[in-house]
Structure 1
Amino acid sequence: MRALTGTGVLTRLALRRDRLRLPLWVVGLAALFASIGNSISGLYETDAARLENAQVRADNVVTRAFTGPAPGSSTGALTVSEGLVFTCVLVALMNILLVVRHTRQNEELGRTELVGSAAVGRHAQLTAALLVAGLANVLLIVLSTLALIGMGLPAGGSALAGLALGTVGLAFAGLTAVAAQLTESARAATGLGGLVLATTFLLRAAGDAFGNTASDDITVNPAWPSWISPLGWGQQLRPYGESRVWPLALLLLCSALSVLLAVRLSVHRDVGTGMLPARRGAVRASSAMLKPIGLVWRLQRGLVLGWMVGIAVFGAVFGGIGDQVDDLFSSEKSAQFVRDLGGEGDLVNAYFAGMMGLLAVVVSGFTVQALIRLRSDEENGPTEAVLATSVSRAHWLLAHTLIALLGTALVLAVLGLSTGLAYGAVSNDLTAALGDLLETTLAQLAPTAVLAGFALAAFGLLPRLAATVTWAAFAVCLVIGQFGTLLNLPDGLLDISPYSHLPNMPAESLTVMPIVVMVVLAGALTAVGVAGFRRRSLALGG
């Protein structure tokens, strides 16, 4: 047991570090899943409406590839169809970030070597990270189950839905532990974990898309790709439907085998190294690297490419089901829900206005992620070395800003193109669909620039709190800006989000004045950030 010496202390340390982050993840995910169920119960109040919606989901290949078919026609079954896969993806992401943070990131920053000089066993750090992940997933099971039961859903199906979320999380915690042994950096480990998540999502999507619909026109028996995906296993529990327990064994076995493999690999590598050798760079650097903007692009290009690929998939899915909007939201209440989200008028235009607005706020997560790197580069990266040359602080900050906004514009353009191409293909009106949706997404760059300016102001004035404050602002934009009308929030609160000041395109026409005002505000916030950064000390925040 020497290899586990100090596990308890390291577990308490990890919990201390994540005392705010982890509860927000767990409570937020449980509340998100429960809120989906609450919206379903409000939109489809009759058995006939629920049955029709379940049949439409089973009949549409794109819909069941994206969200999965419903295991039945009850409120709980439609909740599973609408939210289980999406929530499982977020649960997997939580576990990827958590395990990397307490394993590979500690090695990269030198904490593991420092801690290892004391009476700490070789496997203590990995075990502590997995214990924290296990605790988080168990709490998620309990909270999500209680939340669903509190909505009036059957206890058995609620418990199975909670188990699906938690055991999928455990599977990805184990897979991420393996990724942390294979790579040499936290960024690479997170990227490898994300690649595994994307692959498993595509396998499940392919399995559902090519599955066979049963005689009840609701249940879909997936094809074989879904059976090699942890997301597919979680879905095959079929809460509120057949309620099968045995797929839990596949998820637990995946987690156990992954942990054993991670432990085995950790024995055969040195601290700070990975089992996979780092790729050697070019002998000579590009001339673009001589300028700050070239260096920043080199640091951010992988992030930009990843977001472009991911958002293209989402855009194609939302565009591909555009011709099914009238069937999916056939009841008067569900149609009004779409119009509350995206504006009055044609239901299809309201649907695209709501979905593009929501995805645009999600894309601003890339903007925040790109700008928050300023702080990590200041603490542990190249900022000090770059500023030791003739590069000014303002030049370095504006280079990050330009690349972040350029990357955001590219991602938004990909969103508009993929959505427009998919909808144009199914509606046989490619030119109009492509033009309208591309204009809709690119207009979202203005409010995103305001959020970017806020991030820069926080970095310049409150560097130690910059990440927390900026992500909190992102959350406010996501919740208030997109769902504030549905929650009947007062106008003063809705106006906090810059996204609330854009018209609901394409349901409404574009107006120039809000964009001009937001560009001016973004410029003012950026100037505040530059001034603050020029006047404070590096890393310490002045």
Structure 2
Amino acid sequence: MSADLTSVALLTRLNLRRERIIVPVTVVVLIVTSAATVSSIRTLYGTAAERASLAAGAAANAAFKLLLGPLEHVQSAASIASWRAGLFMIATTAVCAALMVTRLTRKEEELGRVELIRAARTGRLAPLAAAVFVAAGFAVVVGAGMALLMGSAGATGAEAAVVGGQYATTALAAIGLAALTAQVATTARLANLLAVSVVLGGYVVRGIADSTGLRWLQWTNPVGWAQRMDPFGANTWWPAVPSVAFFLVGVAGAAWVSEHRDLGGGLVAPRPGPPASDVSSLPALAVTLHRGGFLGWMAGIGVFALLIGVLVNAAASLTQDNPQMVEYLHRLGGPGALSTVYFAVIMSYLGFAASTWAVTAMARVRGDESAGRAESVLATPVSRSGYIISQLGVIVVGIVVLLLVAGLLVGFGAGAVTGDWASMMSNALRGVAVQIPAALVIGAGVVALYGIAPRLVVGGGWAMVVAAFLLGPMGELFGLPQWVRSLSPFTHLPAVPAQPMRWGPVVVLAVVAAGLGTLAWWRFRRRDVEGS
């Protein structure tokens, strides 16, 4: 076995270097987002009476139970913050850990790098072990950060430790799962799909358990096991045992499969394409390449949008007997009825989600170029201009379609619970449409980064999205000065439907997006194309 792990320390250091941007950014985003939640809870629910009112009002809504779980403990701001963001952030951390394992194993194998590494003095299991070590370190760091954050928010030492354990052990379970799917699947995309589907499926099953009273369903998945740890109630560690066991079994299974399969092989292969391709142009090729990822993002954003619409009636109960919450919403969304203010505030989150898809889409384009596929395409009688314009076109159309579909689903959910179909659909579509120019600025900016240098896409693209988010709606929570918040394109948008439409900022943002698209076209035509 020791021979199988030869050079694992060297590969671990290599993985740490490769992840030196993505991992710290991810950790910071997760902790800062939770810190923003804690800050808002302290401001909006600072007294015991306000926290009790929340538990009796909006938190009792079935839709809130589906999305966040039941609010059973209101003794501190930490307990409320753990309910508001906990399970969602736990699942998000687990997804990030799973993607990291796949990125460092199957993706590297798919690109041919593992074959080069294994040609040196390297053990057969060393790449897998190095990836697991780095991902496990990420899980521990996030767990420790969340524990410190909860401790600063008023949690006891034992409560904060269990909160950190929720994050760390659920991420470990996802690491074990991803290690196995990376060995079973023959492509990184399929491995990610299998692992992420299980994690998010567990989150959905947990939501069904909480909203229907079928609490036994919580025992079927790692997210439910984390919920059972109940840091502010039972405060117990033993439900984390299945997550740790899941991690150990998954890693052991992955090691066994790795020992018994050919390099590049797997048990689950992607479905072969049609015998005759119908891809007859660059735009058709771009659509084909992005179609699977786009449909997955549309499904995820669509579910979120539908829940947003269903929760529109909860806006009033959420703010009942809480003037601070009412004031905060009006600062973000302007004057008017709480339902329209709710639409104005929440639509910006859909804009961020659509712009995030653009980063993942262009990361796929960057991967194609690194693997030499872009070079092969450009070796045919096609122009560089056509190649980059087709990618830019897919990003623009994809963002618009994602937001419009999300707006329709928000309107549908709100109309179903209120019965006022016309105004709800109008408010939703107007609120989401005004987000398009700001999302296009981010999308075109990511394409511009690709045009300048492919290596900038992942780090630079995520930095743009995170900065726009933290300086936009989060900037109000952090009390940032207006000139700092103005760096986010979303800050300049009118809060439709709570405020009247203002075309000036929309036109300016559209011009900025067009300028960034032009920069992408100009730079891509002049730089070298990476080969495999």
Q: Flag whether TM exceeds 0.5 (same fold).
A: yes
Partner in structure 2 of residue 364 of structure 1: 355
Partners of 2:10 and 2:208 lie apart in 1 by 44
1:457 aligns with 2:448: yes
Correspondence 1:124-143 to 2 at 5 A: 124-143=126-145
CA pair 469-23 structure 1, distance change in 2 beyond 3 A: closer
Correspondence 1:254-403 to 2 at 5 A: 254-286=246-278, 289-330=279-320, 331-403=322-394
Structure 1 residues without counterparts, runs of 5 or longer: 212-221
Partners of 2:335 and 2:97 lie apart in 1 by 40
Partners of 1:236 and 1:58 lie apart in 2 by 18
Contact residue 353 and residue 504 of structure 1 kept, 8 A:
yes
- Relative to the length of structure 2, the TM-score reads 0.95
Structure 1 residue 370: Cα displacement: 1.9
SS of aligned partner of 1:153: coil
Partners of 1:342 and 1:484 lie apart in 2 by 14
1:20 aligns with 2:21: yes
Partner in structure 2 of residue 86 of structure 1: 88
What letter is aligned with 2:38? Answer: G
Deviations 1:193-239 (A, max 9, x none): 2211221111111111111xxxxxxxxxx522222021111111111
Partners of 1:479 and 1:230 lie apart in 2 by 29
1:11 aligns with 2:12: yes
Partners of 1:472 and 1:28 lie apart in 2 by 10
Contact residue 187 and residue 269 of structure 2 kept, 8 A:
no
What letter is aligned with 1:64? Answer: K
CA pair 141-485 structure 1, distance change in 2 beyond 3 A: closer
Partners of 1:365 and 1:296 lie apart in 2 by 18
Partners of 2:259 and 2:478 lie apart in 1 by 53
Partners of 2:454 and 2:244 lie apart in 1 by 41
Aligned length: 528
**Aligned match for 1:181, one of 158, 180, 183:** 183
Partners of 2:476 and 2:138 lie apart in 1 by 32
Deviations 1:472-509 (A, max 9, x none): 11111111122223333222222222212210011112
Partner in structure 1 of residue 46 of structure 2: 45
Partners of 1:145 and 1:523 lie apart in 2 by 44
Misfit runs of 4+, over 4 Å: none
Contact residue 21 and residue 459 of structure 2 kept, 8 A:
no
Partners of 1:277 and 1:304 lie apart in 2 by 21
Partner in structure 2 of residue 521 of structure 1: 512
Correspondence 1:392-471 to 2 at 5 A: 392-471=383-462
Partners of 1:381 and 1:354 lie apart in 2 by 43
SS of aligned partner of 2:72: coil
Partners of 1:529 and 1:35 lie apart in 2 by 34
Identity level (%): 33
Deviations 1:496-534 (A, max 9, x none): 222122100111122223222222222222112111111
Structure 2 residues without counterparts, runs of 5 or longer: none
What letter is aligned with 1:118? Answer: A
Correspondence 1:134-213 to 2 at 5 A: 134-211=136-213
Deviations 1:430-465 (A, max 9, x none): 121012201211221111222222223222234432
CA pair 358-451 structure 1, distance change in 2 beyond 3 A: same
SS of aligned partner of 1:484: helix
Greater displacement, 289-298 / 151-160:
151-160
Structure 1 residue 38: Cα displacement: 2.8
Deviations 1:123-169 (A, max 9, x none): 11111111111112122222221222123322111111110011000
Structure 1 residue 57: Cα displacement: 4.7
Partner in structure 2 of residue 486 of structure 1: 477
What letter is aligned with 1:444? Answer: Q
CA pair 71-123 structure 1, distance change in 2 beyond 3 A: farther
SS of aligned partner of 1:355: helix
Greater displacement, 530-539 / 363-372:
363-372
Deviations 1:27-86 (A, max 9, x none): 332333233223212211221211121233552111010011123112222112101111
Structure 1 residue 10: Cα displacement: 1.3
What letter is aligned with 1:110? Answer: G
What letter is aligned with 1:246? Answer: W
SS of aligned partner of 1:486: helix
- Relative to the length of structure 1, the TM-score reads 0.94
Contact residue 77 and residue 240 of structure 1 kept, 8 A:
yes
What letter is aligned with 1:305? Answer: L
SS of aligned partner of 1:28: helix
Partners of 1:246 and 1:522 lie apart in 2 by 52
CA pair 76-464 structure 1, distance change in 2 beyond 3 A: closer
Structure 1 residue 277: Cα displacement: 3.0
